[in-house]
Structure formats: structure tokens, C-alpha cells
């Protein structure tokens, strides 16, 4: 039997020429086609997009052929396009979903498939399980037959104009231009090239860009907008005197933000800052959402601002549901994903960066200054994420341990045990630790947060000890 195709929190990803082969892509796309036809037997249309990775154009062509032979109209995006732009185009065009060939922030040897539903959101587990069942049924039956289905013609699609127009409605570019702030942008060779920088320039904001070309190897490293990969962005900021640096990952659903002094502001803090800013400037107090592994600074702000808080499992699809229902002003995950109300129920790294530009311009202060102001109001929060590899023996023992009840944790009473996703232990001093086992590798992801840097150091050591003891 072929290797099972499993859709995780952000679709199916694998190493090219190992599991991510033309054969397996055909299996996955056929499974999606069968699922879509089960929902819309009398005609459907699916948008096909990609990031700039190797063979992206070929993969889109393969998918277009398969969809066409299932009576589904392929709406093909010719150029690499950001995931949030594709999500917006799904909603705007009334399409029945999207297949996006991207491995997001993963290294260049990976590729993947993200499947979005008609609302533009990442497919929920109940949908991806049905797709996996369709693939398994196909494998069991042998070759797929499309006898009696007349192939349909492909259409072309360009999400850029409508998406940029929408961003121009959301972001106050006049305020950014009036402030005189200079901006630097790093798309990390990814799909966001020519998106935020074009909008900034069109609105009279001085902007400089690095890594502004296609490179299927992303400079030889993962297209991840993380601290250690943004040195060239910092260099360009120093050269131009920029007040802020913004970056996006391979498909532009994640963001990375650098303050004017070169400090990387971690995503936990950006989500909290923008939450506070949107309440201040838009008056949106309908709610805020965060994954269980995201900073409790958001909890403290929600309490201070009188805003309802929603805590979700990890996976932006759960936050996307709340955006669709207009229950929240903003939702975010510590892994650098956020979106806001009246926008797509999908992570938007481009929007995050532009809103940060607006926030800095409006306040006339650095991100560091703004964060210190928030700390002065609700207290300090210091989050950390670590991964620990496990031997089979340790993993088996630790899995059992996670299921047990924990009343104390290294000298602190456990105030609350949260099992929305893994195990989160909230301690009596306001600190917490969250453990999530990876479903694809022998790794436990450990999220810790304390109220001081010294407390975080001790908590991190205790969190690691609890894994191996």
C-alpha cells in the first residue's frame, strides 16, 4: 500500500522526491477533487496557487488537469501568490476552495499542499479526515476512473489587485506617510515580493527591500522570518535609517518584525501590541483569540480592556472560525500568525507587518517603548518555546505522564490544568508551561512563560527536567 497522506495543522508537507512526489501529489489532489465533488456534485471551481518553490508551476498544471477531469473548474494563479491573498480571492470570487502548493516556512527541500474551504479558511480536521478517507479509498480501489465526466476548461485568476485594495482599506497609509517613517521589507525570496513594498511605495512611504527575487532555495535556508535569519534586513535598516523592518515567510502567512534599534520583537508581543492598538484606534472590543501556547499577556490585556478572551487549540483554523463569526477583533498564535475582523480567516503576515508600521507611525514611538508601556499597565511576561527530542522509551513514559493529574510543579501549586491541546499547567505565581507532543516526529514542544527573565530561566530548566525525570 502507498504511504498514507496525512493533513496536519497546516496541510500536508513532505520532502520533495521522498514522500512529496508527483504520484503522491496526484493522489492528494484526486482525494481533494473527490471530496469537493461530494459537496458540490453539479459543478465547482477551485483556485490553484503556489509559492516560489521548485516545480511549483508543474504541480499547479498537474492539479489543474486532475480537477478538470473531475468536472471542477481550475482557477489558475500564474505567479507565486501569498496564502492570505489566495484566501481573500476564494471569498471574493465565490470559489469552492483553494489548493495551494506551499511548505510555508519549511526548508527549501520541502513542499506541501494547503487546502482551503469556501470561506477561505484552512480546512478543519473534519474536512481533512474526509479527504484522507477519499485518498485511502482510491488506494484501495486502484486507479481512479473519471468516465462520464467531461473535462472543463481552466480559468486564470489574479488575486493581487483585490487583495491589495483590501489592505489599503484596512491600513492607514496616510498616517505612515505623514510620520516620515522609513520601512524595510524582507520577503525572504518568498511569495510576498511586490506586495507590501508596492503598497507602501504607492502611498508615498520610503521603503527598501532585500531578497527581492525568486530563489527556489531561499538563500540556502528555511524562509522563516525569525531573529537569526534577518541580519540582511537589519543591515538595510541601518543603511536607510528605517524605523521598522517587516518580514514574511515563504508563503507570507507568517511575520517577523524588527524594531528600529535592530531588536527582533517576538510574535507573542506583536499580537499583544496589535490587540491593544486595535482596541485603541478602531474601538473593536468584541473579543480576542489566542492559541493555548500563546502568551498570557493577551489574557491580562483582555481583562484590563474588558474584552472577551477565547483560547483555542494550536492551529489557525480554530481562530479563523472565530473571525468568520465576528467574535474577535484579532486572533493570533505564538508561531507568528494573526488576522483581524472583517478580513480573511487565515494567517496574514503582510497585514501584520503593515499594521505594525501604522502603529509605530501613529504613536511616534518604537515597538520596544510601546511594549514597556503595556508592561507598566498589566505586568511583565516572558515567553519561550523549546523543542526536545525524545527516545522511544522516554516518549512512551512521557506520554503516560501527560495523562496523569499534576498538583505541583517544582515547588509551585498547579492552579489549573488545561487540556485543549497537549497539557498546559498554570502555576500559582502566574507562570505556566505547556507540553505538546509532535504527531510526526519524536519531539515534544515545550512552551514556558514566567513574569521575570530569572523566573523564565528557572521554569525552562524545570520544564526540561520534567520531561526526562
Which CATH fold topology does 382-468 show?
TATA-Binding Protein (3.30.310)
Strand partners, 155: 75
User: Which CATH code fits 12-158?
Assistant: 3.40.120.10
Res 2: pLDDT: 82
Query: What distance in Å separates the CA atoms of residue 132 and residue 144, rounded to the nearest whole number?
Result: 15
Res 386: pLDDT: 95
Res 20: pLDDT: 96
Q: Please indicate whether the domains covering 162-378 and 382-468 agree at the CATH topology level.
A: no
82 in Cβ contact with 195 (< 8 Å): yes
Query: How many Cβ atoms from other residues are within 10 Å of residue 142's Cβ?
Result: 7
Helix runs in 40-124, H state only: 56-69, 83-93
Residues 6+ apart with CB under 8 A from 212: 187, 193, 197
- The residue-averaged pLDDT of 177-191 equals 98
Res 146: pLDDT: 59
Res 303: pLDDT: 98
> Which sequence spans correspond to the domains of the chain?
12-158, 162-378, 382-468
Strands 44-50 vs 98-101: parallel, antiparallel or unpaired: parallel
Q: What are phi and psi of 203, to 5 degrees?
A: -100, 20
For residue 372, pLDDT beyond 60: yes
Res 362: pLDDT: 98
- The residue-averaged pLDDT of 442-465 equals 95
Res 140: pLDDT: 87
Residues 146-179 pLDDT 10s: 555 778 899 999 999 999 999 999 999 999 999 9
The whole model's pTM is what? 0.95
Residues 224-255 pLDDT 10s: 999 999 999 999 999 999 999 999 999 999 99
User: What mean pLDDT value characterizes the chain?
Assistant: 95
User: Which CATH code fits 162-378?
Assistant: 3.40.120.10
C-alpha cell at 358: 501604522
Res 1: pLDDT: 67
For residue 468, pLDDT beyond 90: no
44-58, 196-210, 389-403: segment of lowest average pLDDT: 389-403
Amino acid at each position: 500500500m502507498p504511504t498514507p497522506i496525512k493533513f496536519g495543522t497546516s496541510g500536508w508537507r513532505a520532502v520533495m522526491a521522498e514522500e512529496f512526489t508527483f504520484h503522491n501529489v496526484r493522489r492528494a489532489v484526486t482525494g481533494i477533487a473527490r471530496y469537493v465533488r461530494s459537496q458540490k456534485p453539479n459543478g465547482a471551481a477551485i483556485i490553484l496557487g503556489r509559492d516560489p518553490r521548485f516545480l511549483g508551476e508543474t504541480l499547479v498544471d498537474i492539479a489543474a488537469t486532475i480537477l478538470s477531469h473531475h468536472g471542477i473548474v481550475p482557477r489558475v494563479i500564474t505567479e507565486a501568490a501569498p496564502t492570505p491573498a489566495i484566501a481573500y480571492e476564494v471569498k471574493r470570487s465565490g470559489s469552492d476552495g483553494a489548493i495551494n502548493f506551499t511548505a510555508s516556512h519549511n526548508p527549501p527541500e520541502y513542499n506541501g499542499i494547503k487546502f482551503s474551504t469556501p470561506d477561505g479558511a484552512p480546512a478543519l480536521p473534519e474536512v481533512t479526515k474526509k479527504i484522507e478517507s477519499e485518498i485511502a479509498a482510491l488506494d484501495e480501489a486502484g486507479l481512479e476512473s473519471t468516465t462520464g465526466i467531461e473535462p472543463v476548461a481552466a480559468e486564470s485568476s489574479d488575486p493581487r489587485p483585490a487583495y491589495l485594495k483590501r489592505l489599503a482599506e484596512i491600513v492607514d497609509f496616510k498616517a505612515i506617510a505623514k510620520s516620515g517613517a522609513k520601512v524595510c521589507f524582507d520577503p525572504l525570496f518568498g511569495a510576498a515580493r511586490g506586495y507590501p513594498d508596492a503598497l507602501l511605495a504607492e502611498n508615498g512611504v520610503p521603503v527598501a527591500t532585500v531578497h527581492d527575487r525568486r530563489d527556489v532555495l531561499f538563500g540556502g535556508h528555511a524562509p522563516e522570518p525569525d531573529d537569526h535569519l534577518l541580519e540582511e534586513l537589519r543591515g538595510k535598516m541601518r543603511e536607510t535609517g528605517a524605523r521598522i523592518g517587516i518580514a514574511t515567510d515563504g508563503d507570507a502567512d507568517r511575520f517577523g518584525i524588527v524594531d528600529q534599534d535592530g531588536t527582533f520583537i517576538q510574535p507573542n508581543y506583536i499580537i499583544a501590541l496589535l490587540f491593544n492598538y486595535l482596541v485603541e484606534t478602531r474601538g473593536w472590543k468584541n473579543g480576542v483569540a489566542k492559541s493555548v501556547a500563546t502568551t498570557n499577556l493577551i489574557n491580562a490585556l483582555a481583562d484590563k480592556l474588558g474584552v472577551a478572551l477565547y483560547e483555542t487549540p494550536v492551529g489557525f483554523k480554530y481562530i479563523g472560525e472565530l473571525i468568520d463569526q465576528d467574535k474577535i477583533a484579532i486572533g493570533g498564535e505564538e508561531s507568528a500568525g494573526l488576522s483581524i475582523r472583517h478580513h480573511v480567516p487565515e494567517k496574514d503576515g503582510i497585514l501584520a507587518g503593515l499594521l505594525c508600521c501604522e502603529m509605530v507611525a501613529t504613536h511616534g514611538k518604537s515597538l520596544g517603548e510601546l511594549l514597556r508601556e503595556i508592561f507598566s499597565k498589566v505586568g511583565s511576561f516572558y515567553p519561550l518555546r523549546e523543542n526536545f527530542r525524545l527516545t522511544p522509551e522516554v516518549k512512551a513514559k512521557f506520554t503516560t505522564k501527560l495523562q496523569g493529574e499534576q498538583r505541583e510543579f517544582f515547588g509551585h501549586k498547579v492552579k489549573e490544568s488545561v487540556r485543549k491541546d497537549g497539557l498546559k499547567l498554570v502555576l500559582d505565581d502566574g507562570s505556566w508551561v505547556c507540553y505538546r507532543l509532535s504527531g510526526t516526529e519524536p519531539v515534544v514542544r515545550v512552551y514556558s512563560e514566567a513574569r521575570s527573565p530569572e523566573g523564565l530561566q528557572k521554569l525552562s530548566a524545570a520544564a526540561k527536567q520534567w520531561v526526562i525525570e
